[in-house]
């Protein structure tokens, strides 16, 4: 199997509110139209999607899959090319309605990062350092 992460989908409680946050607040490109039922956003390397969490739960029969929006043991990350961009992205997210969960500060691993949560409580780390971003928008790993 190729090591590939093609699509990340967040189960959201209010699709229209979440679309407004990512599309209008963070300026992420999407072709979403109200009523589509799912929103896809074009990002560097991976497609990002929003889908109603109750519909997500219906896809796995038997009631064994009980998705819950919000912090759930993972974080999503937006890595910046420049240290100063971290503060700018956090401010943009806050203006869009995000809650700043941790202001940007120096990290133990030599970088600079902070955290915000989106309207459903999903945690995003905004970071700079450790791994540079290549011309193709991907992290350059050792």
Q: What is the CA radius of gyration of the chain?
A: 16
Domain made up of 70-134: CATH architecture: Roll (3.10)
CA 5 to each of CA 1, 2, 18, 79, 98: distance values in angstroms, whole numbers, following the listed order:
11, 9, 22, 17, 25
95-138 confidence digits (pLDDT tens): 999 999 999 999 998 899 999 999 999 999 999 987 777 777 67
- Residue 64: the pLDDT is 67
Q: What is the pLDDT of residue 121?
A: 93
User: What predicted TM-score, i.e. pTM, was given to this entire model?
Assistant: 0.86
CATH 3.40.50.2000 fits 1-65, yes or no: no
Per-residue model confidence (pLDDT) at position 89: 97
CATH 3.10.180.10 boundaries in the chain: 1-65, 70-134
Percent of the chain predicted with pLDDT > 90: 62
> What is the tens place of the pLDDT at every residue in 6-32?
899 999 999 999 999 999 999 999 999
* pLDDT confidence of residue 1: 78
Question: What pLDDT sits at residue 135?
Answer: 77
């Amino acid at each position: 199997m190729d090591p590939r992460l093609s699509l990340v989908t967040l189960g959201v409680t209010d699709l229209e509110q979440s679309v407004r946050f990512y599309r209008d607040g963070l300026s992420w490109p999407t072709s979403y139209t109200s009523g589509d039922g799912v929103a896809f956003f074009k990002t560097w390397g991976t497609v990002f999607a929003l889908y109603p969490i109750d519909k997500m739960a219906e896809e796995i029969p038997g009631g064994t899959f009980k998705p819950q929006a919000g912090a759930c043991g993972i974080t999503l990350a937006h890595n910046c090319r420049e240290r100063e961009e971290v503060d700018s992205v956090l401010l943009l997210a806050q203006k869009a309605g995000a809650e700043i969960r941790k202001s940007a500060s120096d990290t133990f691993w030599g970088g600079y990062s902070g955290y915000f949560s989106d309207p459903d409580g999903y945690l995003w780390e905004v970071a700079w350092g450790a791994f540079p971003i290549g011309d193709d928008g991907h992290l350059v790993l050792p």
